[in-house]
Amino acid sequence: MSWEMVAGVEVHVELATKTKVFCGCANAFGAEPNTFICPVCTGMPGALPTLNRQVVEYALRAGLALGCDIAPQTAFDRKNYFYPDLPKAYQISQLSLPICQNGSLEIETKQGTKQIRIRQIHIEEDTGKLMHHPTQPYTLVDFNRCGVPLLEIVSQPDISDADEAIAYLENLREILLFLGVSDCKMQEGSLRVDLNVSVRRQGSKEPSVPTELKNINSFQAVGRAIRWEAARQIQVLEAGGKIQRETRRWDDANNRGIVLRSKEEAEQYRYMPEPDLPVLVIDHGWIERVQRELPELPREKRIRYQKEMGISHQQACTLTGSPQMAALFEQTAALCRNPREAAHLIAGEVARLCTETATRPEDLKVDAEKLAALADMIDSGRINRTVGKEVAERIFRLNVDPETYVAEHGLAMVSDPNVVEAAVRRVLREQTKSVADYRNGKERAFGYLVGQVMKSLKGKGDPALVHRVLHQLLDG
C-alpha cells in the first residue's frame, strides 16, 4: 500500500526595519558583536519594551498580501525557556491572539494550482547568536540580534511532496521581497525554515505523529530533508514501529536528520500574557490604508506583462526575479516605444550579465534611459539584435551612451541591398563546399553561410535582408 506525505512549513523571517522590535537599537546584520544593544534587548531587570510601529505595519502588509484575517486586537505572550543567547530567559511572542490568521498561498504543482493554507502569522523577537570557539573550550555570545523583529509564518499541513514545499517557499519569499518587508537572505539567517513532517497511508485520515526538522540552509536542502524524513517514517511504520515526537537537526552534508530533543509541547514553554505590553488595537482605518498601499505582487506583474505587453511567460518570470529587476523593466518599458524589446534586453542580456558577474539584485544599477534608447534603436532597425547585445553589455558594465557608442564604433545596421548582395556573392564564391552541401539537401549549411555573410559584414548586416538575398542567389 502506498503512503502520502503530510507536511507543514514554519518560516521565520527577520523584518527589514531600521530599529529592533522593542527598543531603539539598530537592526543591522554584520556589525561588531555587542555594539547594537541596550538594557531592553539584553534583558536587564526593570527595562521595559516599547513596540515598534513599523513591525506592526510590516506584519499587516504580509498578512493582507497572504489573504489573512487581521485581528482587531492582538496581544503578546512570554514564551519561557532558558538558553544562553536569550538573556531575558523568555521570548516575547504571540500565542493566544496572533496578529494574522487564516490566509493562503497559491502554488503551481504538476496537477495544477493548489492552495496552501496559512494558519497564522505572529510577531516575535529574535535571539542572540552563540559563537562556539573552533579550538578553545568556550563559547562567546553576540546580543546584536536580540530583539530583531521576526514574523513567524505557519502553514497548515497541506504540503504533499518536496516540490510543493519548495514552491511554497519560493512564492512566499518572492511576495515578502516585493512587499519590501525583509531581504529574505537564507545565508544571513533572515529567512529560516522549519518543517513538520508526517506520513499516512493513502486514503487514511490519520497521519503519523509529526516530527520537526530544523537548521535547513537552502530551499534545495528543504527538498532533501523532507524526502528523507518521510522515507524514514515510512520505513519505521512498515517495520511495525512507532514515530516519536521529536525535533531533528538537518545535516545536509551527510543527508540525514540528527535527533536534537524530544519535542516540547506548548505547555512546556509556560506561556503567559506579557504584562509589560498592552493589548494592541488595530483599527479598521489602519488595515484599509495598508491594503490600499500594497504594491503590485510578482504574480500580478507576470499576468500584466503577458496580457498588456505581449511578453512571454518565461520572460515575465525572469523579469520578476527580483523587485529591482521588475523596477528596471517597468522604467525601461515606460521610456521606450516597444516594451517587448525592453523585455528581450532585460530578460536576456541584463539577466545573463547579472548571473555572469554575480551581481546581487540590490546592486543592480543599470540606467533605464540608456536601455530604453537602445531598445528603440533595435526596434527601429538602426542596429540589429546581435549589435544590440554588445551595446547592452557595454551599458551594463561601463554605462556607455548607446547613441555615442554605436556612432563611434560604426555599428549601424547594413541595410543597403547592394552591399549585402556583394557580401553574399563573395561568400558563395569562397564557400564552395557549403554551397554544394546545401544544394545536396543539407539544410544546416544555410545557417553556416548566413554566419559567414554576417561575419563579412562585421556582424552589422540586416538579418532579414541577408536571409532573403542568400535564398535568392542559392535557390534562384
Q: Please give the angle made by the CA atoms of 362, 364 and 366, to the nearest 5 degrees.
A: 150
Cβ proximity to Zn ion, 41 vs 387, nearer residue? 41
Closest Cα to residue 90, out of 51, 125, 49?
125
Residue with smaller CB distance to Mn ion, 152 or 462: 152
Per partner kind, with CB cut-offs from 5 to 8 A, the member of Mn ion, Zn ion, none near residue 15 is: none
Give 25 or 453: the residue with its C-beta nearer to Zn ion. 25
Task: Please choose, from the candidates 215, 153, 150, the residue with its C-alpha nearest in 3D space to the C-alpha of residue 182.
Answer: 150
CB of 365 closer than 8 Å to CB of 336: no
Size of the site for Zn ion (CB under 5 A): 5
User: From Mn ion, Zn ion, none, which one binds at residue 236 (CB under 5 to 8 Å depending on kind)?
Assistant: none
**Least distance CB 195 / Mn ion (angstroms):** 14
Minimum CB–partner distance for residue 37 and Zn ion (Å): 6
Report if residue 212 touches Mn ion, rule: CB under 5 A. Answer: no
Residue 33 burial class via C-beta count within 10 angstroms: exposed 0-12, middle 13-18, buried 19 and up: middle
Minimum CB distance to Zn ion smaller for 23 or for 395: 23
Measure the CA angle with vertex 147, ends 144 and 150; round to 5°: 115
55 binds, among Mn ion, Zn ion, none (CB under 5 to 8 A by kind): none
Please give the grid coordinates belonging to residue 262: 524530544
**Which is nearer to Zn ion, 33 or 321 (by Cβ)?**
33
* Beta carbons of 400 and 366 less than 8 angstroms apart: no
Binding mask 293-332 for Zn ion (x = CB under 5 A): ----------------------------------------
- Which residue's CB is nearer to Mn ion, number 127 or number 315? 127
77 within 8 A of 54, measured Cβ to Cβ: no
Residue nearest to Mn ion (CB): 152
Handedness of CA 151, 152, 155, 161 (dihedral sign): positive
Task: Select the binding partner of residue 99 from Mn ion, Zn ion, none (C-beta < 5 to 8 A, by kind).
Answer: none
Q: Should residue 77 be labelled a site residue for Mn ion when binding is judged by CB under 5 A?
A: no
The Cα–Cα gap between 172 and 401 comes to 38
Per CB under 5 A, which of residues 433..452 are in contact with Mn ion?
none
Contacts of Mn ion in 308-367 (CB under 5 A): none
The answer for 437, left when phi > 0, alpha when psi is -120 to 50, beta otherwise, is: alpha
The yes or no reply on residue 462 touching Mn ion (CB under 5 A) is no
If contact means CB under 5 to 8 A according to the sort of partner, which of Zn ion, Mn ion, none does residue 25 touch? Zn ion
Which candidate, 356, 350, 358, places its Cα nearest to that of 399?
350
Count, residues near Mn ion per rule CB under 5 A = 1
The nearer residue to Mn ion, 80 or 386, going by C-beta atoms, is 80
Please state the closest distance from residue 184 (CB atom) to Mn ion, in A. Answer: 17
Which does residue 38 bind out of Mn ion, Zn ion, none, counting CB within 5 to 8 angstroms by kind?
Zn ion
Cβ closer to Mn ion: 189 or 295?
Answer: 189
162 C-beta neighbours (distance < 10 Å), count = 20
Residue 117: CA atoms inside 13 Å, Cβ hemisphere, count? Answer: 7
**Min CB(124)–Mn ion separation in Å:** 5
For Mn ion, the closer of residues 93 and 452 by Cβ is: 93
Q: What's the one-letter identity of residue 202?
A: Q
Site string for Zn ion, 16-55 (x = CB under 5 A): -------x-x------------x-xx--------------
Residue 152 interacting entry, from Mn ion, Zn ion, none, C-beta within 5 to 8 Å by type: Mn ion
How deeply is 234 buried, as exposed, middle or buried, from its count of CB atoms within 10 A (0-12, 13-18, 19+)? middle
CA distances from 392 to 325, 348, 366, 384, 385 (A): 15, 10, 10, 12, 10
In angstroms, the CA 247 to CA 284 distance is: 40
**If contact means CB under 5 to 8 A according to the sort of partner, which of Zn ion, Mn ion, none does residue 64 touch?**
none
Q: With beta carbons less than 8 A apart as the criterion, state whether 295 and 180 touch.
A: yes
Residue 29 vs 271, nearer CB to Zn ion: 29
Alpha-carbon distance 263 to 209, whole Å?
Answer: 11
Site string for Mn ion, 146-185 (x = CB under 5 A): ------x---------------------------------
* Residue 412 contact partner, candidates Zn ion, Mn ion, none, CB within 5 to 8 A by sort of partner: none
Residue 400 contact among Zn ion, Mn ion, none, beta carbon within 5 to 8 Å by kind = none
Site residues, Zn ion (CB under 5 A): 23, 25, 38, 40-41
Site residues, Mn ion (CB under 5 A): 152
